[in-house]
Structure 1
Amino acid sequence: MKSLLKIGFVFGVAIVMTSCFNKSKPNYQFMPNMYEGVGYETYQESSAFSNGMEAQLPAEGSIKRGWKPYDYENSTAGYELAKAELLSPIASDSLNIDSNVAKGKALYDIYCAVCHGTKGDGQGILVKREKFLGVPNFKDREITTGSIYHVIYYGLNSMGSYASQINEEERWQVTMYVEQLRQELLK
């Protein structure tokens, strides 16, 4: 009788163990969301957001990582203020002046020389082909470090903004190169 109970017990345990087994899924999932991810769509509504929106708004006053705010507004007053007081943060790095100017030249040749010319004389290929007229010569303008950076950031007259094409450090490098071109034109 005892052997029958032992056999029955083993047989019962085997039936219970095999009845819970599913070949398409693991037997027991301690954390099922780690095995089978929940299928979220990119812009679907979610109960995770208390305001019912698809995504949370950033906190007020926050800025995106790696971006520094530019404190001068896009106006004539902002231009004049930047012209008077804005200074380059990379100009004081005396060890890298040559490499910054070289990088600035490369960027200037890509973005600026088409209109302003390789010498800064306002005789770029688009001016020679009369696509744009009235591109200024750097020699004829009262420009400073701040005014150059401000114009690259916001644009001026028919020149558009280059803030989305080149980052902050690259804008300062182009500014350094434009200052060098201006000095060469004034000689």
Structure 2
Amino acid sequence: MKSLIKIVTIAIVLVTVSCKKDTAPNYQFMPNMYESVGYETYSESSAFKNGIEAQLPAEGSVARGHMPFDIENSTEGYMLAKETLKSPLDSAQVNLEKGKVLFDIYCAICHGAKGDGQGNLVKREKILGIPSYDDAGRAINEGSIYHTIYYGKNAMGSYANQLKEEERWQVVNYVLQLKSELEGKQTVKDSI
């Protein structure tokens, strides 16, 4: 009986060892998970009814967390924003420290930390002609500032992709504070 157990054990070991090939990969239980088929984006496919693999979003849908801005990027849109657009933040939601941090990151390089138009790029003469927030010809308000942040203006590009809506309004409130400080008026902090 012992010899029969030895023979069966040796046979099992030999069968197990003989199945292993170093030149070929081992058996894969689910080969599709290891060697998946590479599909080209927007390529033809029978998986969906319209034949396109990557599906386009439904018409009129809005990405999660995104609020569309209905005012157009034009001079008329700028004037409309200047006349009608108001901040949705109430005084409890205004965070000037957060607005300052965002302003320092995105705006101060050109506009200067005080909003006087003397940022590092202006001082190094990389760009010219950034007006101060208190210039007599610049009657800016929260609507015009928001529109400019969203679309950009003249040489300034858009920051709509870098700043969320709430962050844009924080920057708007901070710019208004800088404007009032440059004009020597009461600051936004004092009025809150």
Q: TM-score range by the shorter chain?
A: 0.7 to 0.9
Instruction: Give me the whole-angstrom Cα distance separating, in 2, the residues matched to 1:107 and 1:147.
Output: 18
User: Aligned pair 1:68/2:63, yes or no?
Assistant: no
CA deviation after TM superposition for structure 1 residue 89, in Å: 1.1
Runs of 4+ in 1 over 4 A off after TM superposition: 35-38
**C-alpha contact 1:87 1:145 (8 A) present in aligned 2:** yes
Which one has a larger percent helix, Structure 1 or Structure 2?
1
Report the TM-score when normalising by structure 1.
0.75
What residue identity is the alignment partner of 2:181? E
Which of 125, 135, 160 in structure 1 is aligned with 2:157?
160
Deviations 1:97-151 (A, max 9, x none): 3xx2110100101111111011101011111111111101100110010100100
Name structure 2 gaps, 5 residues minimum.
1-26, 185-192
Matched residues, number: 154
Match of 2:178 among 178, 181, 186: 181
The AA in structure 1 aligned to 2:129 is G
Among 118, 133, 137, which residue is 2:132 paired with?
137
Q: Percent identity?
A: 61
CA RMSD of aligned residues (A): 2.1
The answer to which structure, 1 or 2, has the higher relative contact order (CA under 8 A, 6+ apart) is 1
Q: Does 1:106 align with 2:101?
A: yes
Match for residue 5 of structure 1?
A: none
Instruction: Say whether residues 1:151 and 2:148 are aligned partners.
Output: yes
State the distance in 2 between where 1:136 and 1:49 align.
55
Q: 1:113 to 1:25 in 2, by over 3 A?
A: closer
- Pick from 95, 104, 109 the counterpart of residue 92 of structure 2: 95
Superposed CA deviations along residues 28-52 of structure 1, whole A, max 9, x for unmatched, are: xxxxx8x965935353543122122
